[in-house]
Amino acid sequence: MTNKSSNKLFEGPLISEALRQSFVKLNPRIMLRNPVMFTVEIGTVIMLAVCIWIYAGEKSQGGLGYNLAIFVILLFTVLFANFAEAIAEARGKAQANSLRKTREETPAKWVQPVGDIFTDEVKIIPSSRLKKDDVFLCETGDIIPMDGEIIEGIATIDESAITGESAPVIREAGGDKSSVTGGTKVLSDRIKVRVTTAPGESFLDKMIALVEGASRQKTPNEIALTILLASFTLIFLIVCVTLKPFSDYANTPITIAALVSLYVCLIPTTIGGLLSSIGIAGMDRALRANVITKSGKAVETAGDLDTLLLDKTGTITIGNRKATNFYPANGIDPKFFTETAVLSSLADETPEGKSIVELGKLNPASFNLDHSTFIPFTAETRSSGVNLSDGAKVRKGAFDAIRNQVVKAGYPFPKETEERVRMISSNGGTPLVVSRNSQALGVIELQDIIKPGIQERFERLRRMGVKTVMVTGDNPLTAKFIAEKAGVDDFIAEAKPEDKMNYIRKEQQGGKLVAMMGDGTNDAPALAQADVGVAMNSGTQAAKEAGNMVDLDNDPTKLIEIVEIGKQLLMTRGTLTTFSIANDVAKYFAIVPALFIVSIPSLQALNIMHLKSAESAILSAVIFNAIIIPLLIPLALKGVAYRPIGASALLRRNLLIYGLGGIIAPFIGIKLIDLLLGLFM
Amino acid sequence: MSTELTGIVVTFLLTILLAYPLGRYIARMYAGEKTLLDFLNPAERFIYRICRIDPNQPMNWKEFLKAMLTINLLWLVYAFFIFLYQSHLPLNPDGNPDMTPDLSFNTAISFLVNCNLQDYSGETGVTYLTQLFVITFLQFVSAATGIACLVGFLNGLRAKTTDNLGNFWSIFTKTITRILLPLCVVIAVLLAFNGTPASFAAKDKIITLQGDTVQVSRGPAAGMIAIKHLGTNGGGWFGANSAHPLENPNYFTNMLEIIVQVLIPMGMIFAMGFYIKRKKFARTIFWVMTVGFLCLAIPTIITEIHGNPEIAHMGVAQPTGAMEGKEVRFGPAASGYWSILTTVISTGSVNAMHDSFMPISGLMQLLGMLVNAFYGGCGVGILNYFIYIIIAVFISGLMVGRTPEFMGHKVEAREVKIAALVTLLSAFIIKGGTALAAYYFVYHGNADWAVKPNAWLNNPGYHGFSEMLYQYTSSNANNGSGYEGLADNNPFWNITAGFAMILGRYLPIIGPVAIVGLMAKKKYVPESAGTLRVDSLTFGTMTFAVIIIITALSYFPPLVLGPIAEYLGMH
């Protein structure tokens, strides 16, 4: 659904809502949040007063039409800025609402509690009436009405409504895959789910609140930039206020309209008007990438990340390891070995076990397994297998576990198998040794398949200055091989949950910002410790609470996109600030000669744009200043493209485009507007 | 190349050649490594003992600044009262009078803050006692204060994370004993051998070839003239400053004085590189400052060599360039070079009258003081430059997609707030002051004051506006040079310029030290490929652009109404 949603920046209903909001936001109490634009609003009011004054007969302030024009342009400047914020809000809200809508109007099969015993008496109520800790039932074909945790049963679920991914997923009670999301559909089986969030408190609700003006807090960086912009505003206020005595000294009367226009043109209205929309658009872009952020700060922090912790499985490698080769020991018939290997794995439900059966290409039905007992894998024996009806004991397991068994039984362990085991390990594979009646028969090679294109993504991260760390339960040898092959910078092998935590702490002590992605409850402390913790939507509630972002797609490589979104957000602020300030050069050259055209004719040499008249020069500058805001709204919403070309090169590029461009563009723009005005004036 | 230009180039190259080893020495000295002057150790220990100072006691940024401000306040009170009663004190062979309270206020602040704006004339306004024990004393300690604050600032950058900026007292003492005093002895001796007076005798009388009787002021001037330049103070022994034949007798002393006044500002840049072990960073700053300086100096020198267009209109040839207000023994090129160097650093001594320079040169002098960070004053130049760095770091940090950081420390709202405040302050002082003066000139021209506002200006029109603008710019930049056309010895100018000087001195010192103090406490972020390198040429260019843009945008209108209008009117 989200993926299908339009990527067009402006849609009809959004625009009309944003237009309405542009006027609502004229309320001075709301405007006060944005000091730069607030002063423009004051300037607008002053111009209105001047117009009335002239209407009442004042002669010294120029014509009514001219003053009225300035007033209208200033009003539009404020409205444009409001519109920029409103459209960003509207887009974010629309995006979040479309996700939320699905779940509100779904009928829920509420399981009525009778005392402490849950009966199966089910009542159908609208999902909006479900409260936290209520239990509901979902059967094949039902839409899950609310976020929750499965307390009973297992089901395949179509999450395409949220993630856009068509392959169904399995969710079951207990463990790390117990979480379900409202709006998704049960494809088979039946589950009981306990509601985990109170209505209005889900992550989406929080996100909508973040996007909406009321509870949106400025991020630290936004505050710092606002301070800088406010100080520029004050500098230009001083410029304009002191201009009055200066011009008195020079015997040049300056009209209020000219002073207010100069002021509005000089203060950084472009970035001032777009600042809040840039922040909202950042969260909105995250949402479009199917990531729900719990604070604007998290997006900003993402741009600064130094270290990414990534799980190997599913991120760097495709799914799980697969069996790729059978290596029988010397003197063992390959066919017999294959048969034994398959036999050892028939009852093994793990993906590795299944892949062994697949690789054997034997029909499982051809094995006679009557009266056989399966021996499941335990951490103690570190092997699994089957005891056949004829008394034969087939085992497969880790090299040292099987070797112990073999040696204990008094058999020699084949040299070539041992050699092969070492070779497989050093190639990043996992060796599984197969034994029959405590005699080693040979070894199965399991290999990780590295995701195509992952090396390029890591290379891109490296050029951004982000270090990637692979977390895996594999032994160090295997881990090192995969790490090298995939191009990650570091790895944590034989990782226990606390290892992640320790690694994050260690990096943070060195001053680095760390991000990690996790889903399990045992990831929660590390998610909370990380500067950016991305919980997968399929993960447990604890994980989702601990992180500061939730990825609806459960896609671990999403971190890369999040980093880019964060960088784009900061870059958009920086470049538009530069652009806004650089614009002032041209505006000075337009307005200052116009102010003194009568008393100091020699200053006409500064009118390098050859603007027609003083009034047309001032009008052109103010009009340019106003229309540049809506012209830049698309850039503010989409963000400045990030290129991992190194900080200095990036700075040069952006300085050239937005700095030099910011100096040149208004010269052209103001001249064009002046030519256009010349047709009417 | 003409001899005049060769002289300038040689002077400039000599300056760099001397500043580099000095910087190396300074860094070694503050780092506590072995230097030639270690034999002074007992003398310093003696000073610490009688002052009851523990030179190893660490100070955080607040304690550091508190120590600096306290002792400065003490000196202010001391200077104010001595000027007020100087005629009753010894060493006054010429019988010069007391200062008026407003003049005393202005003069005490002026020397305390390293500005040396002189609303009096040395020959008649002060006594030998105040020249030596107030003015020369303050010239030493104000220079040492600036340098000590820079060293404290550098201590914050030197460690990855620290709370300790070093001990103000010990840094301050060492600055005087190991840098200022030894160098001054050498310079003063060189000056004295070239004819600068160094005696306590009163005025002398000579009869010129025309038969006029002339009173010639003298005094123990050589030492004061040495520290006046070395400490970027600029206040002259005589009213005419270094244009006076006894203060600056010949081309050699002219070279000496122009070299030594920029020696410490330039040397401190190199010292910074060695001291905080970021030589490339220091080199980048040096080049940015040098390019900035040349951008101002070259147009000035060319303009002055070409002469005055108004005179050319009258059909008068000017083979020696614009000579009004200049000394024949120096010529327009050396005077132009001096006028820019003395305004980019905060010396403000003059070897020609700035009031008489061409409008373009006046514009360049003003820009030098408005920027106040191309080399800049003793210690404070780098502190001023740092404010521009913070703003450049903030904007360009954003432009490369990271929250901004400087040398491993995040630049956040508090740091930006302080930097913004300091930037705002100078705009406020300079334009606010000029606006106030213009207002009184226009609306209260006949106010019943000692000097009526409408009699302030020697020249009406644009040049008169430049005179007022120059006075506040010079005060705020703690430069101290002036357009002599302005009648500035009256309560209005004494008091307003006094406040401009005091604000323009301490806030730009407190700001950077506080920023570094705050940043040094934050955790250290190691550099990565995504970090903006502050020692790169790109960042140097960015800082340069920030300096130009901020200065141009803040001061465009007054500059247009002053020197630019004057220039356009002439052509």
Q: Is B395 on the interface with A (CB under 8 A)?
A: yes
Does residue B255 surpass a pLDDT of 70? yes
Name which of A201-205, A363-367, A439-443, A556-560 the model is least confident about: A201-205
Cα of B101 to nearest chain A Cα, Å: 29
Model confidence band, residue A371 (pLDDT cutoffs 50, 70, 90): confident
Closest CA to A470 of A427, A428, A508: A428
In chain A, residues with a C-beta closer than 8 Å to the C-beta of B403 are 220-221, 300-301, 303-304, 570
Cα of B566 to nearest chain A Cα, Å: 9
Does residue A240 surpass a pLDDT of 50? yes
Crossing angle for the helix pair B137-158 and B491-521, nearest 10 degrees? 20
Give me the residue label for tokens 């027609």: A612
Cβ-defined contact of A511 to B542 (cutoff 8 Å): no
Predicted pLDDT of residue B176: 95
Q: Is A45 on the interface with B (CB under 8 A)?
A: no
CA distance to A264, A336, A397, per residue, from A589 (Å): 15, 90, 81
Predicted pLDDT of residue A344: 84
Q: Is B408 on the interface with A (CB under 8 A)?
A: yes
In chain B, residues with a C-beta closer than 8 Å to the C-beta of A511 are 408, 523-526
Model confidence band, residue A99 (pLDDT cutoffs 50, 70, 90): low
Comparison of pLDDT for B151 and B531, the residue scoring more: B151
In chain A, residues with a C-beta closer than 8 Å to the C-beta of B431 are 238-239, 242
Cβ-defined contact of A647 to B529 (cutoff 8 Å): yes
Beta-carbon neighbour count of residue A361 at 10 Å?
A: 8
Give me the residue label for tokens 């005490």: B108
Residue of chain A whose alpha carbon sits nearest to that of B409:
A511
CA distance B165 to B153: 7
CA distance A570 to B403: 7
Q: Per-residue pLDDT tens for B362-414?
A: 999 999 999 999 999 999 999 999 999 999 999 998 898 888 889 888 898 89
Cβ neighbors of A643 (< 8 A, separation 6 or more) are A650, A653
The mean pLDDT of chain B is 92
What's the distance, Cα to Cα, between the start and end of chain B in Å? 28
CB pairs under 8 A between A and B: 206
Long-range own/partner contacts, residues A340-343 (CB < 8 A, 24 or more apart): A340/A394, A340/A434, A340/A436, A340/A441, A341/A396, A341/A434, A341/A441, A341/A442, A341/A444, A342/A367, A343/A367, A343/A386, A343/A388, A343/A394
Closest CA to B40 of B176, B147, B190: B176
Cβ neighbors of A227 (< 8 A, separation 6 or more) are B413, B416, B417, B420
Nearest Cβ partner for A228 among B394, B403, B545: B394
B window 411-440, beta carbon within 8 A of A: 411-413, 415-417, 420-421, 423-424, 427-428, 431-432, 434-436, 438-439
CA distance to A88, A175, A675, B51, per residue, from A220 (Å): 20, 38, 43, 45
Cα of A160 to nearest chain B Cα, Å: 33
A window 567-586, beta carbon within 8 A of B: 567-568, 570-571, 573-575, 577-578, 581-582, 584-585
Predicted pLDDT of residue A3: 39
Predicted pLDDT of residue A6: 46
CA distance B124 to B103: 13
Tokens of B348: 């403000």
Backbone angles phi, psi at B457, to 5 degrees: -100, 130
Q: Per-residue pLDDT tens for B83-141?
A: 999 999 998 888 899 999 999 999 999 999 999 988 898 888 999 999 999 999 999 99
Residue of chain A whose alpha carbon sits nearest to that of B541:
A652
Q: Is A236 on the interface with B (CB under 8 A)?
A: yes
The answer to whether A576 touches A657, Cβ cutoff 8 Å, is no
- Of A311, A448, A519, A531, catalytic: A311
For residues B489-493, average pLDDT: 88
The answer to whether A289 touches A561, Cβ cutoff 8 Å, is yes
Closest CA to A653 of B434, B218, B538, B21: B538
CB-side neighbour CA atoms (13 Å) of B223:
18
The answer to whether A155 touches A189, Cβ cutoff 8 Å, is yes
CA distance B352 to A510: 56
Cα of A570 to nearest chain B Cα, Å: 5
Does residue A350 surpass a pLDDT of 80? no
Predicted pLDDT of residue B136: 95
Q: Per-residue pLDDT tens for B205-234?
A: 889 888 889 888 888 999 999 999 999 999
Cα of A271 to nearest chain B Cα, Å: 12
Crossing angle for the helix pair B222-230 and B251-275, nearest 10 degrees? 40
A window 325-384, beta carbon within 8 A of B: none
Closest CA to A566 of A427, A489, A465: A465
Closest CA to A320 of A473, A211, A179: A473
Closest CA to A484 of A508, A458, A446: A458
CA distance B268 to B382: 8
Backbone φ/ψ region at B407: left (φ over 0), alpha (ψ -120 to 50), beta? left
Model confidence band, residue B522 (pLDDT cutoffs 50, 70, 90): confident
Comparison of pLDDT for A5 and A469, the residue scoring more: A469
Cβ-defined contact of B399 to A250 (cutoff 8 Å): no
Does residue A96 surpass a pLDDT of 60? yes
Strand, helix or coil at A494? coil
B window 450-509, beta carbon within 8 A of A: 462, 465
In chain B, residues with a C-beta closer than 8 Å to the C-beta of A568 are 401
Cβ-defined contact of B442 to A596 (cutoff 8 Å): no
The answer to whether B528 touches B404, Cβ cutoff 8 Å, is no
Pairing of strands A135-138, A107-114: antiparallel
Cβ neighbors of A601 (< 8 A, separation 6 or more) are none
Predicted pLDDT of residue B62: 95
The number of angstroms, rounded, from the C-alpha of A371 to the middle of its chain's C-alpha atoms is 54
User: Which alpha helices (DSSP H) does B372-460 contain, by range?
Assistant: 380-399, 413-443
Cβ-defined contact of A235 to B553 (cutoff 8 Å): yes
Cβ-defined contact of B568 to A647 (cutoff 8 Å): no
Q: Per-residue pLDDT tens for A476-490?
A: 877 888 888 888 888
Predicted pLDDT of residue A162: 62
Cα of B402 to nearest chain A Cα, Å: 5
CB neighbour burial string for B305-331, b if at least 16 within 10 angstroms, e if fewer: bebbeeeeeeeeebeebbbeebbeebb
Name which of A270-279, A391-400, B173-182 the model is least confident about: A391-400
CA distance A127 to A124: 9
For residues B152-168, average pLDDT: 93
Give me the residue label for tokens 């949950």: A497
The answer to whether B318 touches B307, Cβ cutoff 8 Å, is yes
Best residue in B284, B402, B443 to probe A by mutation, most A CBs within 10 Å? B402
In chain A, residues with a C-beta closer than 8 Å to the C-beta of B563 are none
Residue of chain A whose alpha carbon sits nearest to that of B525:
A511
Cβ-defined contact of B441 to A464 (cutoff 8 Å): no
Cβ-defined contact of B561 to A249 (cutoff 8 Å): yes
What percent helix, strand, coil does chain B show, rounded to 5?
Answer: 65, 5, 30
B window 551-570, beta carbon within 8 A of A: 552-554, 556-558, 560-561, 564-565, 568-569
A window 290-309, beta carbon within 8 A of B: 300-301, 303-304, 306
Cβ neighbors of A570 (< 8 A, separation 6 or more) are A221, A300, A303, B397, B398, B401, B402, B403
CA distance A649 to A633: 26
Q: What is this model's ipTM? A: 0.92
Predicted pLDDT of residue A558: 79
Does residue B287 surpass a pLDDT of 90? yes
Q: Is A651 on the interface with B (CB under 8 A)?
A: yes
In chain A, residues with a C-beta closer than 8 Å to the C-beta of B396 are 574, 651, 655
Residue of chain A whose alpha carbon sits nearest to that of B422:
A231
Nearest Cβ partner for B401 among A239, A570, A582: A570
Model confidence band, residue A507 (pLDDT cutoffs 50, 70, 90): confident
CB neighbour burial string for B459-470, b if at least 16 within 10 angstroms, e if fewer: eebbbbbbbbbb
Most confident of A425-434, A593-602, A651-660: A651-660
Tokens of B275: 């001291």
Instruction: Assess whether A176 carries a catalytic annotation.
Output: no
In chain B, residues with a C-beta closer than 8 Å to the C-beta of A303 are 401-403
Predicted pLDDT of residue B115: 92
CA distance A243 to A647: 40
Does residue A533 surpass a pLDDT of 80? yes
The answer to whether A409 touches A461, Cβ cutoff 8 Å, is no
The mean pLDDT of chain A is 83
Closest CA to B481 of B368, B384, B563, B386: B368
Nearest Cβ partner for B417 among A227, A568, A578: A227
Best residue in B398, B457, B556 to probe A by mutation, most A CBs within 10 Å? B398
Predicted pLDDT of residue A4: 39
Residue of chain A whose alpha carbon sits nearest to that of B432:
A242
Name which of A343-357, B33-47, B327-341, B489-503 the model is least confident about: A343-357
Best residue in A222, A235, A573 to probe B by mutation, most B CBs within 10 Å? A235
